């Protein structure tokens, strides 16, 4: 049912301060983000390294849904988002096991979600969502649609960069012997 953990969402009072911390100190690369006027908050996805992501969420004014969460703290982990290939299948599985959920919404083919309350998920707010992870990443951390790998030489072999099915790309270094063995295996597929 679950493909992977997509991101950890961190709620903060000061979005700009948190953005600077994660971008300038940790090297995070900003991806998609937007304000939700109805719920009075802003969200922003960030990529870290090859495959790690986090989301920063912060209130945009009084009456934000985050007010209670941030009442006595500067920030903290708000929820984790798990990616699924089929939100309806995930929903049916939860129902079949009598696990309550809330907030089921479909935003066209772009994003479909539901939430499991912390009291039903061992103290963690869980968001399960169906989406294309690359839609939320900066162009610098993903491959063009028509490309899935890239090879570049290094002093002792090569660097192999591969598109990850969860969005983004991952990098591994291969020695000359490992690269030769990989090429031989690939040639054997012909």
pLDDT at 38 over 80: yes
Q: What pLDDT shows up at residue 24? A: 96
CA atoms in the 13 A half-sphere facing the CB of 40: 11
Q: Which of 14, 27, 4 is nearest to 138 (CA)?
A: 27
Which ranges in the chain are annotated with CATH 3.10.180.10?
2-136
Which of 14-28, 85-99, 104-118, 140-154 bottoms out in mean pLDDT, i.e. has the lowest? 140-154
Sheet with 102-107, side-by-side order of all strands: 29-36, 41-48, 52-59, 2-12, 75-84, 126-130, 111-116, 102-107
CA dist 8 and 51 (Å) reads: 12
Q: What pLDDT shows up at residue 144? A: 83
What homologous superfamily is domain 2-136 in, according to CATH? 2,3-Dihydroxybiphenyl 1,2-Dioxygenase, domain 1 (3.10.180.10)
CA dist 19 and 104 (Å) reads: 29
Whether the Cβ atoms of residue 125 and residue 170 lie closer than 8 Å to each other: no
Give 60-112 pLDDT, tens digit per residue.
999 999 999 999 999 999 999 999 999 999 999 999 999 999 999 999 889 99
Position 185 confidence tier, pLDDT thresholds 50, 70, 90:
very high
Q: What pLDDT shows up at residue 64? A: 97
CA dist 104 and 110 (Å) reads: 14
Mean pLDDT computed over every residue of the chain: 94
Q: Which residue has the higher pLDDT, 33 or 145?
A: 33
> Taking the mean position of all CA atoms in its chain, how far away is CA 176?
33
């Amino acid at each position: 049912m679950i493909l992977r953990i997509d991101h950890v969402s961190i709620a903060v009072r000061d979005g700009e301060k948190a953005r600077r911390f994660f971008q300038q100190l940790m090297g995070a690369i900003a991806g998609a983000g937007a304000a939700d006027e109805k719920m009075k908050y802003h969200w922003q996805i960030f990529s870290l390294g090859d495959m790690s992501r986090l989301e920063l969420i912060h209130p945009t004014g009084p009456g934000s849904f985050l007010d209670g969460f941030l009442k006595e703290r500067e920030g903290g982990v708000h929820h984790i988002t798990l990616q699924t290939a089929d939100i309806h299948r995930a929903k049916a599985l939860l129902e079949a096991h009598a696990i309550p959920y809330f907030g089921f919404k479909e935003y066209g083919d772009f994003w479909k979600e539901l939430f499991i309350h912390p009291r039903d998920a061992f103290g963690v707010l869980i968001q399960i969502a169906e989406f294309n992870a690359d839609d939320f990443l900066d162009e610098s951390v993903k491959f063009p649609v028509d490309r899935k790998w890239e090879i570049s030489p290094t002093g002792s072999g090569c660097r192999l960069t591969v598109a990850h099915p969860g969005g983004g790309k991952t990098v591994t270094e291969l020695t000359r012997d490992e690269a030769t063995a990989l090429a031989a295996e690939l040639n054997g597929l012909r």
